[in-house]
Amino acid sequence: MPSTMRPELAPHVRRQIDRVSGRPMLLHPEGAVELSESADAILALCDGARGVEEIIAALAAEFDAPEATLRADVESLLAALAGRGLLKSSS
């Protein structure tokens, strides 16, 4: 995961609050992915403008968690989404 990239969901992916469960969810042509609150908070910051370092800094300002933990969460989430083709490929 290059730390210079500015991650963003692919254009065919929609993030929304699920009407039935009230929980965050990603929708894409293949189906739906239920998101944890922390994954949702990370994705809210993935706007194609912020770099990974800025995302981690913003999370650190908002949540009371060690930076190493936040970094690991961000990197594993982005790797998982990229592996499923759910992130915009070039940024």
Partner 1 sequence: MSRPYGLLAELTHRCPLRCPYCSNPLELAARREELPPAEWQRVLAEAAALGVVQVGFSGGEPLLYEGLELLIETARREGMYSNLITSAVGLTPARAARLRAAGLDAVQISLQADEAEVGDAVAGARVHAAKLAAAAAVRDAGLPLGLNVVLHAGTIDRLDGIIRLAESLGAIRLELANVQFYGWAHANRAALLPTREQVDRAAEVVAAHAERLGPRLALIYVLPDYHERRPKPCLHGWGSRALTVNPRGDVLPCQAANAIPDLEFPNVRDHDLAWIWRESAAFNRFRGFEWMPEPCRSCPERERDFGGCRCQAALLTGDATRTDPVCEFAPDRGLIDAVLAAPAAPGDWRYRPAAGA
Position among 1, 3, 16, 63 found at the interface with partner 1 (CB under 8 A): 16
Position among 4, 31, 64, 66 found at the interface with partner 1 (CB under 8 A): 31
Between 32 and 72, CB nearer to partner 1 = 32
In Å, what is the CA distance from 63 to each residue of 7, 38, 87, 91? 20, 10, 24, 26
Position among 20, 22, 64, 68 found at the interface with partner 1 (CB under 8 A): 20
> How far apart, in whole angstroms, are the C-alpha atoms of residue 69 and residue 61?
14
User: Contacts with partner 1 in 48-87 (CB under 8 A)?
Assistant: 82-85
Please name the residues in contact with 90: beta carbons below 8 A apart, sequence gap of 6 or more: none
10 Å CB burial of residue 55 (0-12, 13-18, 19+) is: buried
Q: How far is the CB of 74 from partner 1 (least distance, A)?
A: 19
**Given the rule CB under 8 A, which residues bind partner 1?**
10-12, 14, 16, 18-20, 25, 27-32, 82-85, 89
